[in-house]
Each structure stands twice: as structure tokens, then as C-alpha cells.
């Protein structure tokens, strides 16, 4: 296929008409235009939160779960550390039982302490929270947030992360 050119007022030659022989569809005004019958590629979705569940190896709470979570917000980076709660008088771990309406929905919750640090503002807040022993979901009712081991993805820097720390979408 032959292509015809015309000489512009600046002395350069330009192709005539709708001929698309330019490399990578890069037009002379330096803007990318998608070729016909092609859709623009969707950008990858990056995770903005994550949580790591670990077992305590030594000390008073050996074998119990500790959680480190992070969340990127408009206000900066929010970091949460959730540790077991030993009780007011050092009584040991406290387990709370709840019963459903029909009686067959018994659930066990472990009392824990959540410390949330906002790195950009420099504030530390402490909350009493409950962790479902079976699902390991932690709900921070005062903030309307939850931490769960479910969820996986990749951060913008390419790190593989699991867990979720964000808004609690579960209805009451």
C-alpha cells in the first residue's frame, strides 16, 4: 500500500487522509489513539489494606493470635495491632459466648485490645474489640471497621498481601 504525503507550513511531510501507518497509533500531536476495534486496557486494581495473622511463640499468650493490619486512607497510613486481652486482674484470656435467636447459632468471641496508629497525624487510639474465634474476624464497632483474614491481592509496589482492614459492610 502506498501512502501519500503533503508538505506542511513548517516544512515537514505529513500523511494524507485517515491512513494509519504511524507506529503504535501515535499521532503527530503526541497523543495516543486506540486503533479501531480495540478497547483501552483496564488498569490493575491495587490493594489499599492488608492484615497479617500470626501466632505468639513465647510469653504469657503463647499460641494465641496477634494481628497486624494496615490501611491506606486519604488522611494517611493507618496501622492496627490487635493483641489478646488478659482481663482486668490478670485473670487470663476472656472468652465471651453469644447465643442466636434460635439457640443453635452459638458463637465464641475472644476479648482483645486494638491499638490504632495514624502515622501522618501521629495519634494512637486504643479500643476493646472482640474476635470471632471461628472466623477470626475482628470488629472495631467504635470506628465501623473490621479486620478479616479474607482477601488477597497486590499493592502498588508489587508486594503480595492478604487480609482486609476496612469498612464493615455487614448489616446489624
Q: How confident is the model at residue 54 (pLDDT cuts 50, 70, 90)?
A: very high
Q: What angle do CA 122, 126, 57 make, to 5 degrees?
A: 100
Under 8 Å between Cβ of 17 and 130: no
Identify whether 65 is part of a domain: yes
What SS3 class is residue 33?
coil
Identify whether 132 is part of a domain: yes
3-state helix vs strand vs coil in the chain, percent to 5: 0, 45, 50
Grid cell 511463640 is found at 57
Identify whether 89 is part of a domain: yes
Determine phi and psi for 30, rounding to 5 degrees.
60, 35
Cα(56)–Cα(41) distance, rounded to whole angstroms? 44
Cα(151)–Cα(40) distance, rounded to whole angstroms? 27
Identify whether 43 is part of a domain: no
pTM exceeds 0.85, yes or no: no
Identify whether 161 is part of a domain: yes
Q: Which residue has the higher pLDDT, 58 or 39?
A: 58
Identify whether 107 is part of a domain: yes
The domain in which residue 143 lies consists of: 49-167
Identify whether 121 is part of a domain: yes
Q: How confident is the model at residue 41 (pLDDT cuts 50, 70, 90)?
A: low
Mean pLDDT, the chain, integer = 80
> Mean per-residue pLDDT for 2-15?
77
Identify whether 150 is part of a domain: yes
Give me the number of domains the chain comprises: 1
Cα(140)–Cα(22) distance, rounded to whole angstroms? 57
> Mean per-residue pLDDT for 147-155?
88
Amino acid at each position: 500500500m502506498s501512502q501519500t504525503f503533503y508538505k506542511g507550513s513548517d516544512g515537514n511531510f505529513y500523511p494524507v487522509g485517515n491512513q494509519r501507518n504511524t507506529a503504535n497509533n501515535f499521532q503527530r500531536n503526541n497523543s495516543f489513539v486506540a486503533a479501531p476495534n480495540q478497547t483501552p486496557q483496564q488498569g490493575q486494581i491495587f490493594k489499599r489494606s492488608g492484615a497479617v495473622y500470626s501466632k505468639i511463640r513465647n510469653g504469657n499468650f503463647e499460641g494465641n493470635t496477634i494481628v497486624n493490619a494496615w490501611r491506606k486512607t486519604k488522611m494517611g497510613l493507618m496501622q492496627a495491632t490487635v493483641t489478646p486481652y488478659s482481663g482486668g486482674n490478670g485473670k487470663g484470656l476472656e472468652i465471651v459466648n453469644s447465643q442466636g435467636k434460635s439457640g443453635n447459632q452459638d458463637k465464641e468471641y475472644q476479648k482483645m485490645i486494638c491499638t490504632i496508629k495514624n502515622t501522618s497525624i501521629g495519634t494512637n487510639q486504643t479500643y476493646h474489640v472482640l474476635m470471632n474465634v471461628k472466623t477470626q474476624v475482628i470488629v472495631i464497632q467504635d470506628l465501623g471497621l473490621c479486620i478479616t483474614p479474607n482477601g488477597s491481592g497486590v499493592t502498588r509496589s508489587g508486594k503480595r498481601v492478604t487480609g482486609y482492614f476496612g469498612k464493615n459492610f455487614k448489616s446489624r
